[in-house]
Each structure stands twice: as C-alpha cells, then as structure tokens.
Amino acid sequence: MSDLAILKLAEGLARHASGRHALVAQNIANADTPGYHARDLPPFEAALRDEYAARATRPTHFNAGGAQVYDPRPDTAFGAASPNGNDVSLPEQLARATEAMGAQDRAMTIYGKTLDILRLGLGRR
C-alpha cells in the first residue's frame, strides 16, 4: 500500500512543509542577527515537476532530458536588507509559516481521504 503514488505525493508535501517550517523558525530566530539572510525552500510544485519529468532510460531515447533529484537546500530569499545587512521580514515569515501550515493540512487530508477510499474499497469503515 505504501507504493501508491498519491500517498507518496502526500508524504512529499508533508516533508516539504516540515522543512519549510524549520527554515521559517530559523529565519525568525535570526531576525536580529547582523548579516543574516532569510532562507526558503523552492516551491513544492517545482520539485514535483522534476520528479515526473521525462527521463531517458536507454541510450536510444532522445530529448527526454534528465530530471534532477529534489534537493531541499534553502534558497536565498528576496527582500531588502536592513542597515545591519539582515533581510528577515517578520510579516513575510509569518505568511510563509501560514503557507507551510496549509500545505501540511492538505497533505494530511490527502492521506486521510486516500485511506478512507481504500477502506471503503475493502468493505471496511
């Protein structure tokens, strides 16, 4: 059952949201650190696009390109730096935390509803 693509998608979304929460917490904790630059993960959709991109599996394949493995390294954020070189914006970080919370909720809903459908198909409630 763990091989279902929808469950893997939900797991990936939950992991991405968790990583984003961790980075937001680091950004907020360093809001007064001189020279600190806020970080964030690339959007989950970009990672998903890479995951399902066409791949060349044989030398005879052409124009398939090579999809990159999703590596959740933080990207530098956008924003104006303060006089001490810190570019953390607390309202922006709170918005990112809210987005990550919504993504986590979506992942758990997808997971739960998929299990409900599987149980229904097996005749269980």
Residues written for the chain? 125
pTM for this prediction? 0.70
Tell me which of 67-81, 86-100, 111-125 is least confident.
67-81
CA dihedral 42, 45, 51, 54 (to 10 degrees): -120
* Digit-coded pLDDT (tens) for 37-59: 888 888 888 767 666 555 566 66
* Digit-coded pLDDT (tens) for 1-29: 557 888 888 888 999 999 999 999 999 99
Q: Write out the two tokens for 115.
A: 């299990």
Cα distances from 86 to residues 23, 39, 89, in angstroms, run: 15, 12, 9
Contacts of 115 (CB under 8 A, 6+ apart): none
Q: How far apart are CA 108 and CA 46, in angstroms?
A: 20
Q: What is the pLDDT of residue 57?
A: 65
Q: What is the pLDDT of residue 69?
A: 42
